[in-house]
Amino acid sequence: MDWQWKVRLIAAASLASIAVLIARRHRQRRRAQREANARAVLSHMAAVEQQRLADDNVDQPPQRVADHQATQELRSAFAATAALAESAGQLDGAEKSIADRIVAAASAAGGQVADGASAIPNNSNSNSSPTLPSSAWSLLRVDLVAPDPAIGRPVAVTGNWAMLGCAAAFGKAPLYFLQECQQRLGDVFTLNLAGRRMTMIADPKYFEDGFFNAEPAISFKHAIQNFVVNIAGIDPQRVLDTHRASHDLMKGKLAPNMLGPFVPTLSANFASEIEYFRNRVFQFLDTKKSADGSPAVAPFHARMISSPDSSGSPTTTVEVDLLFFVRHVMFRAAVPCLFGREAADGEKLATLFTNFYIFDKDFEYGTQLPGVLLPAFAKARKWIMENIFRPTVARVRQRDPENPDPKAVNQALFHSLSHLFHASDAPGYGMLLLWASQANSIPGSFWVLVFLLSHRQLYDQARAEVLAATKGAASITSEMVAQMPFLRRCILETIRLRAPGMITRRTTEEVRIGEYTIPAGDFLVLSPFWAHRRGANFQSPHEFFPDRWLAADVDKNKLLDGFIGFGGGRYQCPGRWFALTEMALFLAHMLQSTRLELASPAPEPSPLHLVGVQEPRTQCLVNVQFA
């Protein structure tokens, strides 16, 4: 062989050997880094669990939440970390104990654990700690990054691909995902969600000073900027420029002393819409029959249970979908009150109802995804904008804003808003006002009825209170509502148990939260839904107990300690007093004019909803007798 080729082969072999050595050293270094990270994360989880066991005030969540399928990927990540730390050794008693429990729990849930392309060794006896199946990490695997004391960063939940992070696992059931993280990682942790850093704050001691009252460093308007742009198509800079003025205007127009003119209109609308729904149900039951004689499927669920002719009962009982019943009545009653009959009446109101249902159903996805991925959502939004709000804005901008119609207070509110904003932005703000006024009060009222019907004695108590206050009157007044304190307590207790899954702020500069430093640009979130389930402020927090609100003075805005269902700080929900009034009037009319009974099991809240009140996971059927 030519000597030049020999030199080349020797050089190639030497380079290959060097490459192998470098790769081996790199793998060893990565392995050591993973082991060090795993030990740090496990040490952090052990400290969290020790603190939890020492804290008698923390109420554990129901087991059905911990066992939800959507948390399996996260529990697999916990188990992978525990198994890797255990294989690396140097664990103290508490860390070893929690490692065994995490691995066992993930194995029982069907979690699969692996490290890189190789299996994680299990050093413990197979009789005391189950052997987990090994596989390569999936593309969407959840991973954990230990807290960094040097720069004050909290523990992070991330993934192999920085573009996705833990977004795929989070999106399966975000409400449960947050609680699963908080249970293992403590009261401050960060999620990497498709390139966005979202830091969760679960400790109530940071809520007021570290979250609600830290403007402008922790900003509300910067948190909702993209949300408003994506939903309403408003110029991003004008969102920031007009946010405070629009919030203050709505807060003033919807203050408790301004709600008097709403009540007669809302009350009349609720009464007429309940009657309209009743007539529509019986019209379908009378005229739409299938071949076998049973009622045909209507646009809503309706089925005859008994009638005076068939069963000898003095009244007719029908089975309906409770959420559709509530949505149908509340939407059709409130929208004309909010925007005037000229904005939506007759067939236009019916079409608006259908399109808003589609819009609301995909609302949370629509805040993050382009319309091309949600064609039905985009089409419904376009119809509402083009057929409702653009014509309404064009009409009200021609009127004198200093001389609004005194009989349409909220129309005057929208009138004022339309002059406050840029002409091209006003329809978008109308869309936001429509969603904000309906997306919480409708499911909120639904859940009040579900809780009452699940506690029959409380339902009877609330109905007796309403009948005593109204004395058969067709119109329910503010004075009558004031004689229904138990009903108000039921509403507030429902808001506590079905509060929004998440409230968001955004840091505009580096901020300090306890021992952690949060960089500028991070989203800070807290979860009223889970905060209201902490035993520190609420005894038996998972129970529906309206009389806990006897300790509050709602008229003086003195709510229970730890209650953040309306937000907090300067930017509390500006429409909360209108919502409480609207819900009280609707529920009073429902209790006065119907008798309800559950015809299916009470549903659980959907874990998919973080923005606003949760929808039910399953259909809720009720038997209705109309008065």
Predicted structure pTM score: 0.84
User: Is the preceding peptide bond at 299 cis, omega within 30 degrees of 0?
Assistant: no
Tens-place pLDDT, residues 279-330:
888 877 766 543 334 343 344 667 776 655 555 555 788 889 999 999 999 9
Q: Which of 614, 611, 613, 615 is nearest to 224 (CA)?
A: 611
Tens-place pLDDT, residues 550-561:
999 888 888 999
Distance CA 65, CA 74 (A): 13
Q: Are 523 and 226 in contact (CB under 8 A)?
A: no
**Stretch (H or E) spanning 78:** helix 72-88
Distance CA 186, CA 67 (A): 19
Percent of the chain with pLDDT over 70: 76
Distance CA 546, CA 493 (A): 5
Distance CA 31, CA 35 (A): 6
Q: Where are the domains of the chain?
A: 1-133, 247-500+532-626
| Contacts of residue 505, Cβ cutoff 8 Å, sequence gap at least 6 | 211, 214, 218, 219, 220, 222, 223, 523, 524, 525
pLDDT at 132 over 60: no
Query: What pLDDT was estimated at residue 104?
Result: 66
Tens-place pLDDT, residues 472-505:
888 899 999 999 999 999 999 999 999 999 999 9
Reduce the DSSP state of residue 284 to 3 states and report it. helix
Q: Are 385 and 421 in contact (CB under 8 A)?
A: no
Q: Are 501 and 177 in contact (CB under 8 A)?
A: no
Lowest mean pLDDT segment, chosen from 42-56, 145-159, 466-480, 597-611:
42-56
Q: Are 463 and 564 in contact (CB under 8 A)?
A: no
Query: What pLDDT was estimated at residue 105?
Result: 61
Question: Which letter, b or e, does each residue of 409-444 get, where b requires 16 or more Cβ atoms within 10 Å of its Cβ?
Answer: bbbbbbbbbbbebeeebbbbbbbbbbbbbbbbbbbb
Please tell me the number of Cα atoms within 13 Å of 472 on its side-chain side. Answer: 0
- Whose tokens are 């009060």? That residue is 441
Query: What pLDDT was estimated at residue 297?
Result: 36
Distance CA 271, CA 480 (A): 15
Q: Which of 335, 424, 351, 343 is nearest to 383 (CA)?
A: 351
Distance CA 80, CA 112 (A): 8
Output the six-digit token pair for 459. Answer: 């339902």
Q: Are 598 and 456 in contact (CB under 8 A)?
A: no
Tens-place pLDDT, residues 149-175:
777 889 888 876 656 778 878 888 888
pLDDT at 112 over 70: no
Distance CA 449, CA 444 (A): 9
Distance CA 40, CA 147 (A): 8
Position with higher pLDDT, 373 vs 585: 585
Tens-place pLDDT, residues 452-461:
999 999 999 9
Q: Is 490 annotated for ligand binding?
A: no
Mean pLDDT, residues 115-137: 31
Output the six-digit token pair for 86. Answer: 């255990």
Output the six-digit token pair for 397. Answer: 């901008």
Give CATH superfamily name and number for 247-500+532-626: Cytochrome P450 (1.10.630.10)
Mean pLDDT, residues 221-227: 89
Q: Write a three-state SS string for 428-443.
A: HHHHHHHHHHHCCHHH
Query: What pLDDT was estimated at residue 280?
Result: 84
**Stretch (H or E) spanning 311:** helix 308-311
Tens-place pLDDT, residues 30-47:
667 677 777 777 777 777
DSSP β-bridge partners for residue 218:
507
As a whole number, the mean pLDDT across the chain is 79
CA angle 409, 413, 415 (to 5 degrees): 110
pLDDT at 578 over 80: yes
Kindly report the number of other CB atoms within 10 A of residue 402's CB atom: 7
Tens-place pLDDT, residues 497-536:
999 999 999 999 999 988 889 999 999 999 999 999 988 8
Output the six-digit token pair for 584. Answer: 């009280």
Confidence of residue 135 (pLDDT cuts 50, 70, 90): very low
DSSP β-bridge partners for residue 306:
317
Distance CA 360, CA 436 (A): 10
pLDDT at 374 over 80: yes
DSSP state at residue 499: -
